[in-house]
């Protein structure tokens, strides 16, 4: 791959692309150079889970343009099982629900459940001693605790809005509200685990209890990544941003901040902007604080909703 990059960088001529490679659709709609989309406006092939080169090959040759048109034999032994599940859901127009596997997942959960999500920022030039370029520095968490099935969730949170290293305060606040028993539920646990490992390395006084959290984590992404539940509206994605609206009919569209990247930028601008010569409008700090609390809180509340919905779908098993 590196050799290919070097070859292109040394060439005086732009590389030629195959028929399928420049296809794209975005918020600006169909682009003038994407004639294929004009010929096949209902194409959903790019949504195929891990379609990769296989999809580009079909598009380049014009073999298939819609997931429903691909023979099922193409998926047998030639790709992840999720592709066949996805096609079936598209064909039937309703979600695929493996109630047995979902029930098994839910029964494995040990209460109380602690639904946890972090927000982080990263900068090219480290702001603090003991951090490295582009390190994900946690500045906020949201935690919803459910003591037993059917119980109302309690919410806790932490958000540093001071222009100082937030990591010590983050660790202390998390320790104060995170119970000593029960599972910690996150969406894609590798991210939260990675941040906790970095906190333990930076704050040795917290290393003991932080290290003990590792075995308590459970990943709510797993049943969706496995397509034990898959809704056509997810469009091949197992992201919580895709699952929540598909499953619950509500998402993040009502929030001022609706994604992690925007959260990070809003935090840096409001808290650190004036230090670097930016004009931070009066009241922006408080407004950003409220918006960040709503966004991070939505992530953990969404996980509570999703577990409740899965419980409804598996009632009786």
Q: What is the pLDDT of residues 232-277, one digit of tens each?
A: 999 999 999 999 999 999 999 999 999 999 999 999 999 998 766 6
Whether residue 37 is predicted with pLDDT greater than 80 in this model: the reply is: no
Query: 8 lies in a domain?
Result: no
The first and second tokens of residue 219, run together, are 């990943």
Pairwise CA distance, residues 144 & 303, whole Å:
9
Query: 98 lies in a domain?
Result: no
Do 147 and 45 sit in the same domain of this protein? no
Do 183 and 89 sit in the same domain of this protein? no
What is the CATH classification number for the domain harbouring 285?
3.30.420.10
Q: Please identify, among 67, 93, 119, the residue that sits at the C-terminal boundary of a domain.
A: 93
Give per-residue pLDDT as tens, 210-227: 999 999 999 999 999 999
Total domain count, the chain: 2
Do 86 and 113 sit in the same domain of this protein? no
More confident residue, 87 or 36: 87
Do 152 and 217 sit in the same domain of this protein? yes
Do 87 and 198 sit in the same domain of this protein? no
Do 247 and 219 sit in the same domain of this protein? yes
Do 112 and 61 sit in the same domain of this protein? no
The first and second tokens of residue 43, run together, are 């194409």
Q: Please identify, among 41, 66, 93, the residue that sits at the C-terminal boundary of a domain.
A: 93
Alpha helices in the chain (DSSP H): 2-10, 35-39, 52-61, 81-92, 99-107, 167-177, 189-202, 207-211, 222-225, 240-248, 260-267, 284-313
Who's near 316: CB < 8 A, 6+ residues apart? none
Range of 275's domain?
104-223+236-313
Do 85 and 131 sit in the same domain of this protein? no
The fraction of the chain above a pLDDT of 70, given in percent, is 91
Do 263 and 147 sit in the same domain of this protein? yes
The first and second tokens of residue 107, run together, are 């029964």
Give per-residue pLDDT as tens, 297-309: 999 999 999 999 9
Question: pTM value?
Answer: 0.87
The fraction of the chain above a pLDDT of 90, given in percent, is 71
Query: 151 lies in a domain?
Result: yes
pLDDT for res 20: 44
Do 65 and 201 sit in the same domain of this protein? no
Whether residue 30 is predicted with pLDDT greater than 60 in this model: the reply is: no
Give per-residue pLDDT as tens, 98-134: 999 999 999 999 999 999 999 999 999 999 988 999 9
Q: Please identify, among 73, 93, 113, the residue that sits at the C-terminal boundary of a domain.
A: 93
The first and second tokens of residue 225, run together, are 């990544």
């Amino acid at each position: 791959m590196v050799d290919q990059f070097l070859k292109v960088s040394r060439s005086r001529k732009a590389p030629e692309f195959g028929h399928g490679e420049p296809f794209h659709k975005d918020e600006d709609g169909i682009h003038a150079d994407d004639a294929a989309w004009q010929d096949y406006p209902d194409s959903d092939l790019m949504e195929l889970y891990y379609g990769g080169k296989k999809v580009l090959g079909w598009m380049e040759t014009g073999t298939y343009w819609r997931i429903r048109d691909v023979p099922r034999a193409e998926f047998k032994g030639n790709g992840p099982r999720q592709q066949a599940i996805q096609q079936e859901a598209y064909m039937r127009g309703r979600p695929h629900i493996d109630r047995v596997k979902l029930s098994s997942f839910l029964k494995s959960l040990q209460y109380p459940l602690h639904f946890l999500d972090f927000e982080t920022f990263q900068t090219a030039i480290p702001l603090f001693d003991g951090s490295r370029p582009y390190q994900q520095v946690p500045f906020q968490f949201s935690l919803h605790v459910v003591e037993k099935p059917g119980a109302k969730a309690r919410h806790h949170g932490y958000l540093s809005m001071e222009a100082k290293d937030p990591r010590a305060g983050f660790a202390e606040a998390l320790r104060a509200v995170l119970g000593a028993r029960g599972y910690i539920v996150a969406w894609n646990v590798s991210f939260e685990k990675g941040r906790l490992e970095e906190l333990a390395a930076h704050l040795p006084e917290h290393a003991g209890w932080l290290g003990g959290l590792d075995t308590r984590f459970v990943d709510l992404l797993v049943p969706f990544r496995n397509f034990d539940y898959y809704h056509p509206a997810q469009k091949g994605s197992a992201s919580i941003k895709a699952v929540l609206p598909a499953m619950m009919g509500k998402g993040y569209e009502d929030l001022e901040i609706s994604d992690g990247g925007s959260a990070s930028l809003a935090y840096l601008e409001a808290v650190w902007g004036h230090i670097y010569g930016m004009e931070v409008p009066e009241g922006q700090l408080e407004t950003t604080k409220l918006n960040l609390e709503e966004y991070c809180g939505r992530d953990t509340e969404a996980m509570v909703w999703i577990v409740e919905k899965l419980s409804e779908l598996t009632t009786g098993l």
